């Protein structure tokens, strides 16, 4: 039985909705300056759970069998990440750091592998998008691994007349926000790009 909305238009709508979720996460990170561990967990949880729901809906309503498996796996990874943000009884800064790395590594690897497999079978815009987003997500995991949550740098701003502290958590949340912004723009471009039209074959008149 074919999915209810197994059309190119529906797949593009899924891309646009992914872009919207990522854009909301990026905007929240951009406009909130108090980037604590609790804040990072809240934003990551919001993003992960919303994306999980979208992937599960995509697997049921839009995807054929093979692609549906990829969407279900990605949905499960995002759902687990969102649940861990609430359930892990650890220091919020440490919890955010390791959940972010684990989610980014797992989701990035699955999306990258799915994109490469799809390109080998038949090169499409979707396989290219998966490769790009998967690569960016793995890059987020690698860079976040370098940033220690224990890092702290005190600095003084004369104009404000006070001292500030740049922490590893602030950097980690900022990296996630930057990733979300880039992915949102990239997916939005893919979602709003016109679908290539097939040129009909016509026979020349005798």
Tell me the pLDDT tens digit for each residue of 111-150.
999 999 988 877 678 889 999 999 999 999 999 999 887 7
Angle 159-161-165 (CA atoms, 0-180°, nearest 5)?
Answer: 100
Residue 202, in any domain of the structure: no
- Classify residue 161: in a domain, yes or no: yes
**Which range, 105-114, 116-125, 190-199, is most confident?**
105-114
Instruction: Retrieve residue 108's tokens.
Output: 């990035």
Local confidence band at 151 (pLDDT 50, 70, 90 cut-offs): low
pLDDT the model gives residue 185: 96
- Residue at 205 is within a domain: no
What's the pLDDT at 85? 94
Confidence tier at 204 by pLDDT (50, 70, 90): very low
Closest C-alpha to 172, from 86, 81, 91, 101: 101
Q: How many structural domains is the chain composed of?
A: 1
On the question of pLDDT at 28 being above 60, the answer is: yes
- Tokens 């995509």: give the residue: 58
Q: What is the dihedral of CA 32, 37, 43, 45, to 10 degrees?
A: -170
The domain in which residue 140 lies consists of 8-192
The reported pLDDT for the residue numbered 155 is: 58
- Band the pLDDT of 63: cuts 50, 70, 90: confident
Rounded Cα distance between 105 and 116, Å, is: 16
Whether 203 is in a domain gets the answer no
Mutual angle of helices 168-192 and 37-61, in 10-degree steps: 30
Flag whether 204 is in a domain: no
* pLDDT tops 90 at residue 22: yes
- Residue in 64, 60, 54, 65 with CA at minimum distance from that of residue 20: 54
Angle at 174 between CA 168 and CA 180, to 5 degrees: 140
Q: Return the higher-pLDDT residue of 201 and 59.
A: 59
- Report the pLDDT averaged over residues 54-66: 82
- d(C-alpha 12, C-alpha 192), whole Å: 7
- Which of residues 60 and 155 earns the better pLDDT score? 60
In a domain, residue 61? The reply is yes
Structural domain includes residue 199: no
Round the CA-based radius of gyration of the chain to a whole number and report it: 20
Average pLDDT of the chain, as a whole number? 84
**Integer Cα distance of 56 and 68 in angstroms:** 9
Phi, psi torsion values for 25, nearest 5 degrees = -60, -40
Confirm whether 64 is domain-assigned. yes
């Amino acid at each position: 039985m074919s999915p209810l909305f197994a059309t190119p238009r529906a797949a593009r709508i899924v891309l646009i909705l992914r872009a919207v979720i990522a854009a909301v996460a990026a905007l929240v990170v951009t406009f909130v300056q108090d980037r604590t561990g609790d804040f990072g967990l809240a934003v990551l949880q919001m993003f992960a759970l919303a994306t999980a729901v979208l992937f599960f809906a995509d697997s049921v309503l839009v995807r054929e069998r093979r692609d549906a498996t990829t969407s279900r796996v990605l949905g499960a990874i995002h759902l687990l990440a969102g649940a861990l943000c609430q359930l892990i009884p650890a220091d919020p800064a440490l919890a955010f750091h390791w959940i972010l790395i684990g989610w980014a590594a797992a989701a990035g690897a699955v999306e990258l592998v799915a994109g490469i497999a799809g390109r080998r079978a038949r090169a499409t815009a979707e396989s290219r998008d998966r490769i790009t987003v998967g690569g960016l997500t793995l890059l987020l995991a690698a860079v976040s691994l370098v940033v220690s949550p224990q890092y702290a740098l005190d600095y003084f701003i004369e104009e404000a007349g006070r001292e500030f502290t740049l922490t590893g958590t602030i950097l980690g949340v900022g990296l996630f926000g930057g990733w979300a912004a880039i992915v949102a723009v990239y997916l939005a471009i893919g979602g709003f790009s016109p679908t290539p039209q097939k040129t009909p074959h016509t026979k020349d008149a005798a």
